Structure 1
Amino acid sequence: MATTDAHLTLARPAAPPQAARPVVWTLIGAALAVKAAGFAWDFLGYYVASGHGVTAAGAAMTLFGIGWCAGQAVSGLLTDRAGQRTALVTMMTLAAVSCLALSLAHSLPALLVVSVVLGSTMETYRPAVSAAINEHMTSSVARARAQTALYWSINAGIAICGGLGGYLAHHYGYQKLFLANAAICLAFALLAIRLLRTRSAVPSGPDAVTYRQVLADPSLRWIAVVSVAAMVCAWGMVSVVPLLMIEDGLPPTAYGTAMICNTVAVLALTPPMTRLLIGRGEMLRHSPVAILAIGTAILGAGLAYGTVQHSTLGYSIACAALVPGEVAYSIAIGGYLSTAAPDGMVGRYQAVISASSAVASLPPLGIAVALNAGGRPLVAALLGGCALLGVAACLPLFRALHRTSSQR
């Protein structure tokens, strides 16, 4: 693995054990708050469509996804080069400004520009928070558990935002939601100033690690492939399932019911699955690769099952069936980051994985075309094949991790 060279490793400053846990869990709580108030992302399509039509909304969401990929790269680099505090303050302040700009934009060109900027900033807290977890937590189990909690907070935040935002938008309009989103992002920036210290020494010159060097790690490349495959299936819950329900003539309340079932399952299954798969000792109980393969298979099977449903009950069962896969994916990614990401590079490792999620948000347009061309059997085959690709990629991922471990 290219990142094992001595000159690429940065020393991790020791954090007092008694101070580490409150810092980490406060940051995770802040991430939950930002996601729960992420109205600018969740309702961007509705806002653009209300004034400019569905095609314009699709263009805005595509530009948001492109910006998401770019923003992760910038945030990961800033986290590792300038520190978590600088990254969070800078990116969350820019996110607040972009939410404010969205509340003021009305013309289509302005909305499309804001969509790119919004995508570049809204999810950029992930690399910094992941890096803070690995810096402040001392054992791999503690890091994996905290990384898993970060992903859980994001999933819970999405559910809260969707349910709460729909009610608030109906009564108060979109602009006020976007202003509230801006306020929460700014509050996160201020919290980072209070919680985190400024990095005293910033790597530069020939010793600075580049993305090219980070991506020289084959395990990171393979886990990115698996992440894209898994998240294409996971994103299907918010992209493919609504298309299918519309085709069946089911009302929006039916989709809301399915999402509630998913949320309840997330809240109920995450704690016991975390205890089962991570354990309580000082070492991870199971290989993150095995957990990732199982989780990817569950996501593919659950969504394929959903493509052949026609009732609210059937779709609700499918959305709930996805949850074990979602939780397993979160635990596996947390385990990988806690053990495989070298010191000083956690931000960029998380950025690459998060960018994979952004890439996975783009294919639903192709799924819609497949639905029209070949119907539900073709959609089920494509999604199932995507999941199988992810499972197959776990084998070279395991080999890469084993080879790296033996070299250390």
Structure 2
Amino acid sequence: MATTDAPAPLTLPRPAAHARASRSVVWVLIAASLLVKAGGFAWDFLGYYIASAHGTTAAGAAMSLFGIGWCLGQAVSGHLTDRAGQRTALVLMMTFAALSCVALTVADSLTTLLIVSVCLGLTMETYRPAVSAAINTHIASSGARARAQTALYWSINVGIAVCGGLGGYAAHHYGYRPMFLANAAVCVAFALLALRLLAGRRPAHDDQAPAVAFRQVLADPGLRWIAVVSVAAMVCAWGMVSVLPLLMTADGLPPTAYGTAMIANTVAVLVLTPPMTRMLIGHGETLRFSPVVVLAAGTAVLGAGIGFAAYQHTTLGYSIACTALVPGEVCYSIAIGAYLSTAAPDGAVGRYQAVISASSAVASLPPLGIAVALNTGGRPLVADLLVGCALLGVAACLPLSRALRRTAGARHRSTEGLL
């Protein structure tokens, strides 16, 4: 990937051939991330599966427990990535993911399903901290890092949409359990790929960056505020997977309708992501616009899109809503990718990504409340809650901007002190 200046090495200077090989590792991991999300039927169809058997309230409770597990899983994965290495984290977490998918195929009672929901949450996107760390490890240029981090988010969005499209039709024709077994197989394949592709953890040397604890990571005010905005944005974006099944089940629509809506989202992601990326990043090293402005715009679009979805009752209406969410998804992924490519220090990329991914996990907790709101206040209340959450995220971008300016100023003064 071409850049306008010579990349600064992370540790030791690397030959061009080595740099190309490193970039190849990154793109293979990004492609594998897309495949594991495209085959993530147990994660994406958990709500629909439980709702069809036990009702929307039970599904909301299961998805909330799933979100709790997701938060815990991100913390574990981030810690493993930074301390034990990317390969160890990927192999262990993807193996546990496969076992959880298999457990879902044999779980029958609601109690057992709720326990399995927590286990599935523990494995949801636990590969993301390791892949983000690999991007910053294998790519030296900040501009190339930003594009790769954006591509990771893009691959995940495409994978989710493909999963919904394929899974909706597969569930209708073959049932859910074969899909969950396919999910397990994909996770095993990712674990084997990581075992072969990535190097083991190298022994620490005195010249390497010191280990960074979660306490130090969470002391970064910019990361704290970007996590707040991420929660608000992801409540709306995650609604495509968690809220839409509740709404569509209430409308009596079959899984094929959900698959159609997700296919519409997939097509929009494929069509809109390249031109929007060129518009926002271009060929330079930085975003053409402030990352905070891009993040605020994306959050607002996500809120409007999911608010519109709350009032729909037809497959066409839900498909249009899923398409309307895409510009917000792209803006969000580009802004977060730019932040991770520059703000996360060496030795803490896994934890930084874990905190941001945990924001998505927190955003998956509201389905129980959404289910209650749907049963008590109807769709207007659901829409008001989702749009209000997006507005809070947009408002949080103001203190985020201040925090990032203070952090940049502090780094500049520290650099001047070393000269």
Which amino acid is the alignment partner of residue 278 of structure 2?
R
Whole-Å separation in 2 of the counterparts to 1:183 and 1:315: 31
Structure 1 residues 245, 187: CA separation in 2 closer, same or farther (over 3 Å shift)?
closer
Q: How many residues align?
A: 396
Whole-Å separation in 1 of the counterparts to 2:222 and 2:304: 25
Among 224, 229, 252, the alignment partner of 2:227 is 224
Structure 1 residues 142, 254: CA separation in 2 closer, same or farther (over 3 Å shift)?
same
Match of 2:118 in 1: 116
Tell me if structure 2 keeps the 8 A contact 1:235–1:360: yes
Match of 1:101 in 2: 103
* Matching of residue 76 in structure 1 with residue 78 in structure 2: yes
What is the correspondence of 1:5-404 to structure 2 with a 5 Å cutoff? 12=11, 16-49=18-51, 54-201=56-203, 208-245=211-248, 253-404=256-407
Which amino acid is the alignment partner of residue 112 of structure 2?
A
Whole-Å separation in 1 of the counterparts to 2:55 and 2:313: 27
Residue 401 of structure 1 deviates from its aligned partner by 1.2
Structure 1 residues 238, 192: CA separation in 2 closer, same or farther (over 3 Å shift)?
closer
Tell me, what secondary structure is at the counterpart of 2:289? coil
Whole-Å separation in 2 of the counterparts to 1:362 and 1:185: 24
Tell me if structure 1 keeps the 8 A contact 2:169–2:259: no
Runs of 5+ consecutive residues of structure 2 not aligned to the other structure: 1-9, 412-419
Residue 244 of structure 1 deviates from its aligned partner by 4.5
Tell me if structure 1 keeps the 8 A contact 2:231–2:360: yes
Structure 1 residues 89, 45: CA separation in 2 closer, same or farther (over 3 Å shift)?
same
Structure 1 residues 247, 183: CA separation in 2 closer, same or farther (over 3 Å shift)?
closer
Tell me if structure 2 keeps the 8 A contact 1:48–1:56: yes
Tell me if structure 2 keeps the 8 A contact 1:24–1:132: yes
Tell me, what secondary structure is at the counterpart of 1:394? helix
Which amino acid is the alignment partner of residue 299 of structure 1?
L
Whole-Å separation in 2 of the counterparts to 1:107 and 1:372: 24
Tell me, what secondary structure is at the counterpart of 1:154? helix
Whole-Å separation in 1 of the counterparts to 2:153 and 2:190: 17
Which amino acid is the alignment partner of residue 222 of structure 1?
W
Residue 344 of structure 1 deviates from its aligned partner by 1.0
Whole-Å separation in 1 of the counterparts to 2:394 and 2:331: 13
Structure 1 residues 336, 370: CA separation in 2 closer, same or farther (over 3 Å shift)?
same
Deviations 1:302-325 (A, max 9, x none): 222333445544433322111100
Tell me if structure 2 keeps the 8 A contact 1:81–1:203: no
Which amino acid is the alignment partner of residue 123 of structure 2?
T
Which amino acid is the alignment partner of residue 68 of structure 2?
I
Q: So what's the TM-score if we normalise by structure 2?
A: 0.87
Tell me if structure 1 keeps the 8 A contact 2:77–2:93: yes
Residue 24 of structure 1 deviates from its aligned partner by 0.5
Q: So what's the TM-score if we normalise by structure 1?
A: 0.89
Runs of 5+ consecutive residues of structure 1 not aligned to the other structure: 1-10
Tell me if structure 2 keeps the 8 A contact 1:14–1:135: no
Match of 1:7 in 2: none
Tell me if structure 1 keeps the 8 A contact 2:296–2:393: yes
Deviations 1:213-243 (A, max 9, x none): 1100001100010001111111223344454
Structure 1 residues 312, 35: CA separation in 2 closer, same or farther (over 3 Å shift)?
closer
Which amino acid is the alignment partner of residue 199 of structure 1?
R
Residue 398 of structure 1 deviates from its aligned partner by 1.2
Residue 246 of structure 1 deviates from its aligned partner by 5.4
